[in-house]
């Protein structure tokens, strides 16, 4: 079998990331003791950019349905692009820190991204588990080690994440074991086909455990307690990486499984997912309401967005996953969160910044922050508005124009928007509190991350056609 | 040069002006202020000339003309669609006049020129133009959201606490309106697989009917109608001058146009089915606004004006609920004709409150503007008021007569106070000239109500859909 037959073009981004991570690890070992340098970070950033370019280049070729290891369809390519964009922005935020990143940090970014991409493209349960674990472990180490400024908050946040992540791993392993023994094969496409007589209960239990593991990884209520702590305690780059390689891939995998085997194995799956969605969005929106700290507000906003994405997945269980709705929401969420984190990094080193009166003291940062808050609120003219409108439409279609869940989710959207716009009002109109610490000059890498995020949100918000078409294409081809 | 080529300029020109203003913000303040004034003057001049040309070349035979269309969000069947009709052309003219007054207010009435506020004025104008021209419900929601957020920022930037509070309150209501409008668009897309108004010839019963109450609630917030009016009074008394002018003149006017275009145009059968309810809602709004305007202190000019604005929304709704050509046309003429005298009166009210001035000339000016808003014969609002009254039943007409008489009295009452012994400074030249110009326009348009024929045709077209459901003879 030749290399070309083995899906080399589809695997190129993953191979590149693995190769660069290996080279950087070797160099890190050979050049011991470590010196403070940003060279490895730049190498990782360029590797991520090259991987994104390779991933985007596959859109120009005919898609192959038969691949040996990882899926090479538009759905996986779209999700890979999302993960890579998030990782690139995280790498920029890491470069913009006040101290150079540790020697091993870029390697951890690469490995966690690689793990996320492997889990997204996995065609069998074992590969899925390997991908999820690779990203989770790398992420955990990254959260804990990138903690110079917050004096232990990052370690504590990492520990808050470690517990649920460990439980998620255990549940996933048990779920995989149940599914494998019930279906006789770990391959996702054959799970419901190869189900032996009398193994329905085992398969359902396996599916349930797998679902619970993924729900913990996405931070859905009632497994959400780590989310806000990570948003507050970790460095901006670690928060964004948690979203990009932890939460988003888990949502994508969940969407693919719900569209495929899980819908056959778990009875009333849509109802269960919708319950997760309603709880997450309601808790997120209500908890965002009283927040006065930017990062905690961000944490609860992410929780509400997880709820909206789950609602998008739930309304399409068993058919084309997402119908583009969840894809659009995730595509908007990453730049919006990256933007808030970039501005919080520009506004001051502390994670407990209120951003009060920021538009007066630092107009550019203040206006950018308002734009990102408006984006998180799902308001025009940002890409989030497009995703949210598509979600409302699919919810109304799903519920036939009624439904308590639809009403509650819409109300949650309204509450979240109110909380975020009210916060934006504080940013614009309040008198800034004089700070005892001098705010450092903005770092070009952080400013670049903020400007990139704003450009993506505004350009695709005003002209969403390209990204909407790609999302729709991804939705139609993601059915296994 | 044809209309299709020039229509996008109504959005691109103010956007480009806003970008130019932002670019100016980095320069030193003296040069910046001078250039900002020049850019604002030229941009508003171009905008007014463009809209004037549209108005002159618009033929009554052009019922609806789609001038630009491009896919926007295929999943929901949304198109970036710009279309012109007689109502939108008329509204564009009034909106341009209001925008000119907003610019004048920003340049001459603020203690310090703000380039940020000038930029925001142009963003608001672009978004409101898009809302008037949009032939797609979701794109209209986008324009609504942008205009609302920009207006909120415009109201609060550079103001004291009261202005901030007004801005925050306005932002909350406008965000709620945007979300309701987008939810209405999503509901329409769910049932009809498109959000383009021209393609929604007859919306099937079922899920899309959810859109009607959502849309009505969003527009009732914008017009505004009781009980969704609570944002208006704080905005009338606090915030930047340009923001207040654009809210009371532009925002409410565009809401009235949207009610005709989207409310009457999309759900004629539901409107016909529920016809007593909108009528009663409108009458209740007029009565409530009349009583509350009378209850304000005699020198609380701005609050009296804000209640008169709420009453206008009620009159519009009564006209629309009439479901006949004459009352609907009258409702539109009444709502559109209010915009200019209302903003002129707002500026005068602010100046009177700040300076405490009074004199015979001030009393005469105030009285004439109050008469204009009270639909006195010979002035611009009278034809509209007459059409509403004659097109509805006798009982409703009597109710409206009483309501408008009370509002008119509430607006005229301060004239006595102003005619007392003179005191305070004389009025600045720019303000007196602006007010006289507005009064002249009111008088002229009262004598020659030009847009009646073209708007009447457009109203007929919208009402033909009501006839389809057998409610009209």
Q: Is B354 exposed, middle or buried (0-12, 13-18, 19+ CB in 10 A)?
A: exposed
Chain B interface mutation, best of A380, A428, A458, highest count of B Cβ atoms under 10 Å: A380
Closest residue to A428, CB basis, from B141, B156, B176:
B156
- DSSP secondary structure code for residue A184 in this structure: S
Boundary (domain end) residue, out of B201, B232, B266 = B266
Q: Which residues of A touch B206 (CB under 8 A)?
A: 400-401
Mark whether B236 and B340 lie in a shared domain. no
Give the mean model confidence (pLDDT) for residues A273-279: 94
Rounded-to-integer distance, Cα A446 and Cα A241, Å: 15
Mark whether B339 and B435 lie in a shared domain. yes
- Mean of the per-residue pLDDT values of chain A: 86
What was the pLDDT predicted at A6? 54
What was the pLDDT predicted at A382? 94
φ, ψ (nearest 5 deg) of residue A101:
-60, 150
- CA distances to A28, B105, B120 from B35, rounded to whole Å, are 56, 17, 16
Mark whether B225 and B246 lie in a shared domain. yes
Mark whether B405 and B378 lie in a shared domain. yes
Residue B366 lies in a domain: yes
Question: Which range (A72-81, A253-262, B198-207) has the least confidence?
Answer: B198-207
pLDDT per residue of chain B (473 residues) written in tens, 0 to 9: 566 678 889 999 999 999 998 888 766 677 777 888 888 999 999 999 999 888 888 776 666 677 888 899 888 889 998 988 889 999 999 999 999 999 999 999 888 888 889 999 999 999 999 999 998 999 999 999 999 999 999 999 888 889 999 999 999 999 999 999 999 999 888 888 889 888 876 666 666 678 888 999 999 999 999 899 999 999 999 999 999 999 999 999 999 999 988 887 777 777 777 778 889 999 999 999 999 999 998 889 999 999 999 999 999 999 988 888 889 999 999 999 999 999 999 999 999 999 999 899 999 999 999 999 998 888 888 989 999 988 888 888 898 899 999 999 999 999 998 988 888 888 899 899 999 999 999 888 888 776 677 788 888 888 776 555 443 43
Mark whether B284 and B164 lie in a shared domain. no
Residue B271 lies in a domain: no
Given phi > 0 = left and psi -120 to 50 = alpha, else beta, which region is B421?
beta
Q: Is B297 exposed, middle or buried (0-12, 13-18, 19+ CB in 10 A)?
A: exposed
Rounded-to-integer distance, Cα B357 and Cα A212, Å: 72
Range of the domain at B356: 276-473
Rounded-to-integer distance, Cα B348 and Cα B439, Å: 13
Rounded-to-integer distance, Cα B397 and Cα B77, Å: 43
Boundary (domain end) residue, out of B207, B235, B266 = B266
Rounded-to-integer distance, Cα B332 and Cα B328, Å: 6
Residue B134 lies in a domain: yes
User: DSSP string spanning B344-362?
Assistant: HHHHHHHHHHHH--B-HHH
φ, ψ (nearest 5 deg) of residue B196:
-75, 125
What was the pLDDT predicted at A452? 96
Q: What token pair was written down for B11?
A: 């959005």
Residue B158 lies in a domain: yes
Residue B196 lies in a domain: yes
Mark whether B203 and B296 lie in a shared domain. no
- Domains in chain B: how many in total? 2
Mark whether B283 and B387 lie in a shared domain. yes
Mark whether B324 and B242 lie in a shared domain. no
Residue B461 lies in a domain: yes
Residue B223 lies in a domain: yes
Boundary (domain end) residue, out of B266, B285, B315 = B266
User: How far does the CA of residue A465 sit from the closest CA of chain B (Å)?
Assistant: 5
Q: What token pair was written down for B16?
A: 């480009």
Kind and range of the H or E element at A344?
A: helix A325-347
Q: Which residues of A touch B186 (CB under 8 A)?
A: 389-393, 395-396
φ, ψ (nearest 5 deg) of residue B287:
-65, -45
Mark whether B75 and B154 lie in a shared domain. yes
Closest residue to A401, CB basis, from B73, B185, B210:
B210
Helix and strand totals (H; E) in chain A: 20, 0
Question: Which range (A132-146, A171-185, B20-34, B110-124) has the least confidence?
Answer: B20-34
Residue B22 lies in a domain: yes
What was the pLDDT predicted at B29? 74
Rounded-to-integer distance, Cα B247 and Cα A357, Å: 25
Mark whether B432 and B456 lie in a shared domain. yes
Mark whether B80 and B223 lie in a shared domain. yes
Give the mean model confidence (pLDDT) for residues A429-443: 75
Determine, for residues A393 and B187 on separate chains, whether the beta-carbon distance falls below 8 Å. Answer: yes
Query: Which one, of A132, A127, A105, A137, lies nearest residue A116 by Cα?
Result: A132
Residues 189-218 (B) with a CB less than 8 A from some CB of A: 189-191, 206-210
Rounded-to-integer distance, Cα B319 and Cα B311, Å: 13
Rounded-to-integer distance, Cα B272 and Cα B274, Å: 5
Mark whether B228 and B291 lie in a shared domain. no
Rounded-to-integer distance, Cα A388 and Cα A444, Å: 32
User: How far does the CA of residue B272 sit from the closest CA of chain A (Å)?
Assistant: 22
Closest residue to B179, CB basis, from A414, A425, A471:
A414
Rounded-to-integer distance, Cα A42 and Cα A91, Å: 8
Enumerate chain A positions whose Cβ falls within 8 A of a Cβ in B.
323-325, 374, 377-381, 385-386, 388-397, 400-402, 410, 413-414, 417-418, 421-422, 424-425, 428-429, 463-465, 468-469, 471-472
């Amino acid at each position: 079998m030749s290399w070309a037959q083995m899906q080399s073009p589809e695997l190129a981004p993953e191979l590149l990331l693995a190769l660069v991570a290996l080279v950087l690890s070797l160099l890190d070992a050979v050049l011991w003791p470590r010196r403070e340098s940003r060279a490895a970070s730049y190498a990782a950033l360029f590797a991520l950019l090259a991987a994104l370019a390779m991933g985007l280049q596959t859109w120009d070729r005919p898609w192959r349905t038969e691949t040996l290891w990882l899926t090479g369809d538009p759905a996986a390519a779209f999700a890979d692009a999302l993960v890579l964009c998030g990782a690139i922005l995280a790498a920029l935020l890491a470069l913009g820190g006040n101290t150079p990143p540790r020697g091993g940090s870029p390697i951890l970014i690469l490995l966690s991204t690689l793990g996320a991409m492997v889990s997204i493209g996995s065609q069998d349960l074992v590969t899925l588990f390997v991908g999820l674990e690779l990203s989770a472990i790398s992420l955990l180490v990254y959260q804990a080690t990138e903690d110079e400024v917050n004096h232990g908050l990052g370690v504590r946040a990492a520990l808050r994440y470690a517990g649920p992540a460990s439980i998620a791993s255990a549940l996933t392993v048990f779920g995989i074991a149940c599914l494998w023994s019930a279906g006789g094969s770990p391959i996702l496409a054959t799970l419901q086909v190869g189900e032996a007589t009398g193994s329905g209960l085992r398969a359902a239990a396996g599916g349930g455990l797998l679902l619970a593991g993924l729900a913990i990884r996405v931070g859905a209520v009632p497994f959400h307690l780590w989310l806000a702590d990570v948003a507050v305690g970790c460095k901006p780059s670690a928060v964004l990486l948690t979203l990009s390689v932890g939460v988003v891939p888990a949502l994508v995998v969940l969407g693919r499984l719900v569209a495929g085997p899980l819908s056959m194995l778990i009875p009333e799956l849509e109802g269960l997912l919708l319950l997760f969605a309603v709880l997450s969005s309601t808790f997120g929106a209500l908890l965002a309401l009283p927040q006065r700290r930017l990062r905690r507000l961000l944490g609860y906003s992410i929780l509400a967005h997880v709820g909206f994405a789950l609602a998008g997945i739930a309304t399409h269980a068993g058919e084309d996953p997402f119908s583009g709705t969840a894809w659009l929401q995730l595509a908007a969420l990453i730049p919006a969160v990256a933007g808030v984190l970039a501005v919080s990094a520009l506004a001051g080193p502390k994670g407990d910044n209120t951003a009060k009166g920021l538009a007066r003291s630092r107009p550019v940062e203040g206006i950018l922050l308002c734009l990102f808050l408006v984006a998180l609120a799902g308001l025009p003219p940002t890409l989030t508005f497009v995703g949210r409108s598509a979600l409302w439409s699919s919810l109304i279609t799903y519920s036939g124009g009624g439904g308590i869940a639809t009403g509650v989710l819409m109300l949650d959207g309204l509450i979240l928007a109110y909380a975020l716009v009210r916060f934006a009002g504080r940013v614009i109109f309040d008198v800034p509190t004089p700070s005892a610490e001098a705010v450092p000059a903005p770092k070009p890498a952080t400013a670049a991350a903020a400007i990139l995020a704003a450009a993506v949100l505004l350009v695709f918000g005003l002209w969403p056609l390209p990204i909407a078409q790609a999302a729709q294409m991804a939705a139609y081809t993601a059915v296994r | 040069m044809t209309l299709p080529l020039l229509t996008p300029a109504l959005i691109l020109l103010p956007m480009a002006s806003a970008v130019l203003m932002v670019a100016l913000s980095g320069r030193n303040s003296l040069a910046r202020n001078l250039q900002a004034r020049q850019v604002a003057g030229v941009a508003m001049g171009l905008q007014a000339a463009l809209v004037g040309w549209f108005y002159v070349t618009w033929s009554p035979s052009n019922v609806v003309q789609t001038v630009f269309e491009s896919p926007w969000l295929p999943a929901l069947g949304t198109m970036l669609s710009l279309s012109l009709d007689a109502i939108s052309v008329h509204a564009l003219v009034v909106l341009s006049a209001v925008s000119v007054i907003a610019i004048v207010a920003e340049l001459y009435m603020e203690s310090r020129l703000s380039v940020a506020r000038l930029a925001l004025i142009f963003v608001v104008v672009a978004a409101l133009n898009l809302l008037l021209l949009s032939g797609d419900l979701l794109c209209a929601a986008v324009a609504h959201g942008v205009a609302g957020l920009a207006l909120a920022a415009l109201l609060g930037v550079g103001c004291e606490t009261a202005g901030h509070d007004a801005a925050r309150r306005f932002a909350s209501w406008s965000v709620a309106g945007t979300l309701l409008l987008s939810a209405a668009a999503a509901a329409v897309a769910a049932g009809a697989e498109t959000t383009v108004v021209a393609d929604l010839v007859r919306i099937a019963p079922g899920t899309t009917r959810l859109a009607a109450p959502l849309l009505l609630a969003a527009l009732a917030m914008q017009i505004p109608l009781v009980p969704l009016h609570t944002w208006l009074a704080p905005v009338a008394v606090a915030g930047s001058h340009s923001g207040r002018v654009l809210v009371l003149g532009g925002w409410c006017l565009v809401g009235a146009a949207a009610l005709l275009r989207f409310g009457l145009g999309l759900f004629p059968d539901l409107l016909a089915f529920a016809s007593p309810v909108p009528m009663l809602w409108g009458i209740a709004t007029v009565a409530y606004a009349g009583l509350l305007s009378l209850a304000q202190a005699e020198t609380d000019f701005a609050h009296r004006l804000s209640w008169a604005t709420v009453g206008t929304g009620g009159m519009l709704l009564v006209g629309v609920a009439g479901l006949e050509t004459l009352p609907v046309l009258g409702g539109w003429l009444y709502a559109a004709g209010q915009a200019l005298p209302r903003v002129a009166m707002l500026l005068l009210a602010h100046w009177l409150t700040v300076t405490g001035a009074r004199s015979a000339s001030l009393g005469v000016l105030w009285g004439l503007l109050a008469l204009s808003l009270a639909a006195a014969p010979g002035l611009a609002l009278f034809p509209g008021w007459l059409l509403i009254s004659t097109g509805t039943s006798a009982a409703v007409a009597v109710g409206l007569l009483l309501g408008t008489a009370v509002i008119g009295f509430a607006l005229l009452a301060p004239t006595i106070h102003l005619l007392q012994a003179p005191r305070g400074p004389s009025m600045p030249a720019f303000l007196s000239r602006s007010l006289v110009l507005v009064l002249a326009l009111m008088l002229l348009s009262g004598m020659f109500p030009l847009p009646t024929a073209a708007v009447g045709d457009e109203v007929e077209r919208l009402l033909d859909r009501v006839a389809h459901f057998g409610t009209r003879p």
